Amino acid sequence: MRIEIVTIGDELLLGFTIDTNAAHLARELAAVGVEIVHRTTVGDDAGDIADAVKTAIGRTGAVITTGGLGPTSDDLTKPSIAALFGRKMIRDEVILEALKARWARYRRLGPFPESNVAQAMIPEGATIIPNQHGSAPGIWLEDSGGRWVAMLPGVPREMKGMLADELLPRIVERVKRAGETPTVVRSRTLRTTGIAESALADQLGDLARGVDGLALAFLPSTESVDLRLTSRGLTSDAADAALAAGVLKLRGAAGRYVYGEDGADLAETVLDACRRRGVKLSVAESCTGGLLGARLTAIPGSSDVFMGGVIAYDNSIKRGWLGVTDKDLEDHGAVSEEVATTMAKSVREKTKTDIGIGITGVAGPGGGTAAKPVGMVWVALDGIGTQARCLRLFGTRNEVRQRAAQAALDMVRRSLETG
Amino acid sequence: MRIEIVTIGDELLLGFTIDTNAAHLARELAAVGVEIVHRTTVGDDAGDIADAVKTAIGRTGAVITTGGLGPTSDDLTKPSIAALFGRKMIRDEVILEALKARWARYRRLGPFPESNVAQAMIPEGATIIPNQHGSAPGIWLEDSGGRWVAMLPGVPREMKGMLADELLPRIVERVKRAGETPTVVRSRTLRTTGIAESALADQLGDLARGVDGLALAFLPSTESVDLRLTSRGLTSDAADAALAAGVLKLRGAAGRYVYGEDGADLAETVLDACRRRGVKLSVAESCTGGLLGARLTAIPGSSDVFMGGVIAYDNSIKRGWLGVTDKDLEDHGAVSEEVATTMAKSVREKTKTDIGIGITGVAGPGGGTAAKPVGMVWVALDGIGTQARCLRLFGTRNEVRQRAAQAALDMVRRSLETG
């Protein structure tokens, strides 16, 4: 099966909104063996929408659209495609009741808005694609020849949820019914941290150019360099086996820089490692200002490992809550091994945890000096793996902060591996 | 002037990476009156890259590419386009020295990697587009007929920096030299929070369909609903005047839900308001786990307003550091008006600040009960604007946390406006 994607919105065409939906659809569909053969973006214009969908359906008979299903006046997808299929728009009372119930449940800002009623209008003969993630339902419209258009909302969270809940199962069913044994595009990703892309490439040697016929891509981000192995042209089982073998080789070559696979978050890796060993964590954050705590608590179930700590942004809090002395601040400055070490030790003792993490640095853009430039960050651990490291990070203020939090987590990970 | 964009990378084609570069380019170029007429995405294949650029340059004579300039083996942009222009690849010693200096400055992980040398290879006769934001320089290649290709890296931070520093000034210069008086696409955005998209549309009435010939778009995100007014077909000065008048009308209609314009961050709005009044802030965060502190400290210069506070994730920290009593925890639970109020009051008193913020809630996905469902969050202010509010937020764990932090900031904003 081949599918075309039409993404709809002036936002996308003019670049005001980034088209995340097309990428998500391509990835999810490739993983079940469906190829995306063409991608078009059109603005909020009924004629352009109808033209793009008409062309696309002429090529493949199968089209997914995103966008233009909301309650505001620029949402034209449903009537445009209804007209293309020669269908009237009718009001669906079930949808209307669900919208009203949802409104009553979440909003306490007055009566049900009239502009929401448009969301209950659907093309005659269409099938509803339920939306558990927001208010706008999706639409499946099919003609007598089996050619279909699936219309999903443009809000990425809703689109992704509906794709997983409803649309992918429906498409997989169609592929099976057609008796196709598809080859798949499938990949696995190793996440590394603490090493630059080019140094990692050197470390991998020949593997950097691919592993046993699998393509290898280097994907650097603020906190990690991901290694993604991709298999193409194999059936599902063969792809899984080839990827498993390739991942093993890469892990051997990349060594301890690897902290997880696929969507792994280093915070989750660290929480899991702590949980296995019964270790509890606390933080004392200056330049990161709560970012490390936020990362740890972003993970559901973090409360059995992470107790909390102190945001010691101002020196008065470093002194009053964490026992940093005036003398240390005067002699060594707030960004120093001594202060980071005291922060880590105090927060660990006061919260009665097993590992205390102290972070103090110059996030920038101001505040740097020759001796302590922007990007200089001291990270200290106390308890298991007691140590202090001086990092020299580059990037914007927020990149420095994110990299500092990541480096602190990685110090905990490595301490637990060896400790 | 009309320009085509070619974005390069298997990542983009397969949907593994989201194409943010195309949107950014479209927006920045539209703002100076340059129209993007076509957008193509190709994979890491020398033939495909050359074909796409050849087709594009045949239509407009002006092409911007992104991607494929890095040090790893899948980066083919420069040699592919050099071949298209009939140019050899040569090593540029100036680039090589700069790469080595950069390596020495930031990395302490061994010798200069051989794989970095590829970044110093450029097509003969090309002009370097300097990169102040990373290691891969950009390339400007032009033929004798004035047709040009500008190659930028795919890393968004680097691409954006180089576009602003180097490429846009060069393009604006060309537009001027050609004597064109371009019409522009220009927009201004009002950011609102605390109101749903459809309720805001109702409140705006007729304005929701556009303001004096300017298009109005509603852009809901996790924390805000943005209202974007867009002017098309006017010259630069006329567009600015029309947008100024339109924004004034919208502000009148949207009232106190508006917290800023364009890229405004509510944290920055709040910090500015505090600074004007000499107000200092502190936080005591349970379910948000440091997220509010992280948002405040993401803003450069926040240290004169935000002192810090406590991440009271575990109840032991609520008790030990913030004076929450066992009785309150037993009688009312950790998610209660009483606990939020005590957290706000204690952190304000202990940090000697003017406003203390307490947040405690059920972020989910687990931990909800009938009486205290997922999404229920108590936010308390102490000091200026003393109050407590019970929020009923929807969404994922992180959406609930982000919305709680946003709501807390908005309570501070409103308190300072009226206080």
**Cβ-defined contact of A297 to B290 (cutoff 8 Å):** yes
pLDDT tens-digit series, residues A333-347: 999 999 999 999 999
Of chain B residues 170-199, which have a CB less than 8 A from chain A? 185, 187, 195-199
CA distance B4 to chain A (A): 13
- B36 CB neighbours in chain A (<8 A) are 15
Return the residue of B nearest to A44 by Cα: B217
From A15, which residue of chain B is nearest by alpha-carbon distance? B23
pLDDT band per the 50, 70, 90 thresholds, residue A13: confident
CA-nearest residue of chain A to B348? A317
Which residues on chain B are in Cβ contact (under 8 Å) with A310?
308-311
Report chain A residues whose CB lies below 8 A from the CB of B352: 316
Which residues in chain B have their CB less than 8 angstroms from residue A209's CB?
73
Q: Do A71 and B395 touch (CB under 8 A)?
A: no
Choosing among B108, B114, B198, which should be mutated to test the A contact, i.e. which has the most A CBs within 10 A? Answer: B198
- pLDDT score recorded for residue B257: 96
B266 to chain A, minimum CA–CA distance in Å? 17
Q: Which residues of chain B make contact with A30, given a CB cutoff of 8 A?
A: 14-15
Q: Residue B36's closest CA among B19, B48, B51?
A: B19
Percent of chain A with pLDDT over 70: 97
Chain B: give the shortest CA distance to residue A144, in Å: 32
Q: Is the pLDDT of residue A5 over 70?
A: yes
Residue numbers in A near B27 (CB within 8 A):
14-16
Strands B127-129 and B138-142: antiparallel
CA distance B124 to B92: 9
Q: How many helices (H) and strands (E) does chain B have?
A: 15, 17
Residue of A nearest to B67 (CA): A219
DSSP 8-state secondary structure symbol assigned to residue B212: T
Best residue in B10, B13, B14 for a mutation probing chain A (most A CBs within 10 Å)? B14
Which pair of tokens denotes residue A262?
Answer: 């696929």
B169 touches chain A (CB under 8 A): no
A256 touches chain B (CB under 8 A): no
What is the rounded distance in angstroms from the CA atom of residue B359 to the CA atom of residue B340? Answer: 6
Q: Do B113 and A217 touch (CB under 8 A)?
A: no
How many CB pairs lie under 8 A apart between chains A and B?
293
Specify the pLDDT at position B72: 65
Tell me the C-alpha to C-alpha distance, in Å, between residue B14 and each of A8, A186, A187: 20, 10, 11
- C-alpha to C-alpha distance for B298 and B409, rounded to whole angstroms: 14
* Closest CB from A71, A228, A311 relative to B283: A311
pLDDT tens digit string along A258-309? 999 988 999 999 999 999 999 999 999 999 999 999 999 999 999 999 999 9
Instruction: Indicate the residue of A185, A196, A292 with minimum beta-carbon distance to B107.
Output: A196
B327 to chain A, any CB pair closer than 8 A? The answer is: no
Residues with Cβ < 8 Å from B11, sequence gap 6 or more? A217, A219, B17
Look at residue B123 in the predicted model and tell me its pLDDT: 94
User: Tokens at residue B403, please?
Assistant: 């919305």
Q: Does the beta-carbon distance from A155 to B294 stay under 8 Å? A: no
Sorted by where each starts, the structural domains of chain B and their CATH numbers stand as: 2-177 (3.40.980.10), 185-261 (3.30.70.2860), 266-418 (3.90.950.20)
Confidence of residue A43 (pLDDT cuts 50, 70, 90): confident
Output the average pLDDT for chain A. Answer: 90
Helices B337-351 and B315-322: crossing angle, nearest 10°? 50
Burial class (CB in 10 A: 0-12, 13-18, 19+), A47: exposed
Regions of chain B with pLDDT less than 50: none
* Residues of chain B contacting A401 with CB distance shorter than 8 Å: 294, 297-298
Q: How do A281-285 and A306-311 pair as beta strands?
A: parallel
Q: B391 to chain A: nearest residue by CA?
A: A106
pLDDT in tens, B378-414: 999 999 999 999 999 988 999 999 999 999 999 999 9
Nearest-by-Cβ selection for A293 from B16, B109, B311: B311
- Nearest neighbour of A115 by CB, restricted to B26, B202, B366: B202
Interface predicted TM-score (ipTM): 0.78
Q: Contact B27/A19, CB-based, under 8 Å?
A: no
Q: What are the φ and ψ backbone dihedral angles of B145, each rounded to 5 degrees?
A: -85, 5
- H/E element holding A355? strand A355-361
**Å between A169 CA and nearest CA of chain B:** 20
Cβ within 8 Å, pair A36-B22: no
B 28-57 near A (Cβ less than 8 A): 28, 30, 36, 39, 41
Whether the CB-CB separation of A103 and A120 falls below 8 Å is answered with no
Please give the pLDDT value at position B76: 86
pLDDT digits (tens, 9 = 90+) for A61-118: 999 999 988 766 567 899 999 999 999 999 999 888 888 887 777 655 567 777 778 7
Which chain B residues are closer than 8 Å to A158 by Cβ? none
Cβ burial of B101 (10 Å; 0-12, 13-18, 19+) is: exposed
> Is some CB atom of chain A closer than 8 A to the CB atom of B26?
yes
Measured between beta carbons, the chain B residues lying within 8 angstroms of A196 are 107, 109
Res. A175: pLDDT tops 90: no
**Inter-chain touch B316–A218, beta carbons under 8 Å:** no
Question: 221-240 in B: which are within 8 Å (CB) of A?
Answer: 228, 230
Q: What is the mean pLDDT of residues A345-363?
A: 97
Torsion angles phi and psi, residue B109, rounded to 5? -115, 40
Contact map slice: B 258-297 vs A, CB within 8 A: 283, 285, 287-294, 296-297
Across the interface, of A10, A41, A108, the residue whose CB is closest to B217 is: A10
pLDDT at position B119: 80
The residue among A135, A8, A39, A149 whose CA lies nearest residue A87 is A149
Residues A393 and A399: beta-carbon distance below 8 Å: yes
- As a whole number of angstroms, the distance between CA A348 and CA A77 comes to 56
CA distance A42 to B201: 24
Q: Is residue A310 less than 8 Å (CB to CB) from chain B?
A: yes
**Tokens 């071949």 identify what position?**
B83
Contact B312/A at CB under 8 A: yes
Q: How close B144 gets to chain A, by Cα (Å)?
A: 32
Closest CA to A129 of A64, A33, A52: A64
- Please give the pLDDT value at position B107: 58
DSSP-assigned letters across all residues of A187-246: EEEEEE-SS-HHHHHHHHGGGGG-BTTBEEEEEE-SS-EEEEEEEEEEEHHHHHHHHHHH
Minimal CA separation from B18 to chain A, in Å: 6
Contact B392 A108 (CB under 8 A): yes
